[in-house]
């Protein structure tokens, strides 16, 4: 799927993070609990240079609780990492976040060595909602202090706890094809950057295998598991009255309905990937990416030879 989504300000965000990270003790990575690995920015690990990380699986109210438990166990087994689930209904998330950060960086605390935390996440993951909740009781201190750029916001959660906010950031190249679809389905990507029908078909393909009963109940369907993705989309459109010219289903409208219903959680609590599945998709993505690179290198070599930038290699067997 061709997605164009790396506007200029993301380069600036990247730069701001690289600069800020030098004085950061813990990174909070806000992930979408329905697609934890796909919503993790691969550039972040590079930018954050192995700092202790708190992975927060946000919107857990929309995710399959069993899958969330699997992802939390997966992340909690990694060194220097803690993971917790969260959603907007939690009344006082600050306490849990502060506790986890002090566990990750126990040498910090007090006015001399305040805890300095950077919070990152993709667009629409719920960062503003969380920050609004965190700052509801304390006035957000943002600022014109030296070193705090316009691209970030400094919030004081306690006298010795500073949270640096960064704008939502995506990354330029997606190696795992499934991640692109899952990000689009979740609402992280602007709607002009992807094809809704393509995304809806991929989404339905996963849901019909993993959550057939929820799909059947929401759209009043029978035999979901045996339907092709195309028939499923068409049937959903028909059931919901998305018709055009006579009795033909408007597939664009049907796709929008499927995606909207998934995003809002009305179909049920669902997760689009497990740690095991993602590991397989990543391995496949890396293989395809390596093959793409070999092809690209061969084309580049051929181009250089044709334009006589380098001599053609002598491939005759040596005597």
Residues within the interface to ligand G4P (CB under 6 A): 58-59, 61-62, 87-88, 121, 123-129, 168, 265
Tell me the backbone φ, ψ of residue 273, rounded to 5 degrees.
-165, 145
What are the structure tokens assigned to 257, written together?
Answer: 């309905």
* CB nearer ligand G4P, residue 122 or residue 199: 122
* CB nearer ligand G4P, residue 7 or residue 241: 7
* CB nearer ligand G4P, residue 59 or residue 208: 59
How far does the chain reach from its first CA to its final CA, in angstroms?
49
Q: Where are the beta strands (DSSP E) in the chain?
A: 26-32, 53-58, 81-85, 115-121, 153-158, 161-165, 243-244, 248-249
Beta-bridge partners for 32? 58
Tell me the backbone φ, ψ of residue 241, rounded to 5 degrees.
75, 25
* CB nearer ligand G4P, residue 123 or residue 190: 123
Q: How far is the CB of 157 from ligand G4P (least distance, A)?
A: 17
Q: How far is the CB of 130 from ligand G4P (least distance, A)?
A: 7
* CB nearer ligand G4P, residue 59 or residue 74: 59
Q: How far apart are CA 84 and CA 115, in angstroms?
A: 19
Q: Within 10 A of 47 (CB to CB), how many other CB atoms are there?
A: 19
Q: How far is the CB of 274 from ligand G4P (least distance, A)?
A: 20
Q: How far is the CB of 67 from ligand G4P (least distance, A)?
A: 16
Task: Find how far residue 206's CA is from the centre of its chain.
Answer: 17
State whether residue 5 is helix, strand or coil: coil
Q: How far is the CB of 293 from ligand G4P (least distance, A)?
A: 33
Q: How far is the CB of 285 from ligand G4P (least distance, A)?
A: 25
Please give the residue whose beta carbon sits closest to ligand G4P in the complex.
Answer: 126
* CB nearer ligand G4P, residue 42 or residue 168: 168
Q: How far apart are CA 208 and CA 43, in angstroms?
A: 32
């Amino acid at each position: 799927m061709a997605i164009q989504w790396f506007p200029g300000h993301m380069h600036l965000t990247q730069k701001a993070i690289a600069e800020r990270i030098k004085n950061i003790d813990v990174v909070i990575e806000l992930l979408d609990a329905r697609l934890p690995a796909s919503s993790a920015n691969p550039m972040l690990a590079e930018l954050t240079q192995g700092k202790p990380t708190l992975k927060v699986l946000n919107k857990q109210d929309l995710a399959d609780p069993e899958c969330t438990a699997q992802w939390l166990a997966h992340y909690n087994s990694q060194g220097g990492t803690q993971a917790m689930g969260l959603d907007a209904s939690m009344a006082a998330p600050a306490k849990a976040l502060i506790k986890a950060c002090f566990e990750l960086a126990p040498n910090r605390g007090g006015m001399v060595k305040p805890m300095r935390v950077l919070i990152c996440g993709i667009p629409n993951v719920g960062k503003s909602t969380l920050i609004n909740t965190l700052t509801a009781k304390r006035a957000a201190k943002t600022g014109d202090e030296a070193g705090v750029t316009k691209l970030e916001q400094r919030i004081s959660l306690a006298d010795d706890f500073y949270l640096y906010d960064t704008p939502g950031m995506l990354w330029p190249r997606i190696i795992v094809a499934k991640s692109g679809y899952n990000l689009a389905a979740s609402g992280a990507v602007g709607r002009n950057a992807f094809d809704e029908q393509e995304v809806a078909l991929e989404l339905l393909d996963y849901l019909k295998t993993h959550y057939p009963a929820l799909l059947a109940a929401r759209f009043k369907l029978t035999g979901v598991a045996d339907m092709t993705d195309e028939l499923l989309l068409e049937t959903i459109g028909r059931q919901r009255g998305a018709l055009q010219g006579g009795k033909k289903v408007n597939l664009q409208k049907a796709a929008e309905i499927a995606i909207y219903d998934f995003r809002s959680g009305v179909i049920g609590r669902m997760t689009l990937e497990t740690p095991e599945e993602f590991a397989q998709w990543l391995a496949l993505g890396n293989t395809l990416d390596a093959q793409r690179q070999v092809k690209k290198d061969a084309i580049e070599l051929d181009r250089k030879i044709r334009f006589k930038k380098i001599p053609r290699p002598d491939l005759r067997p040596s005597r």
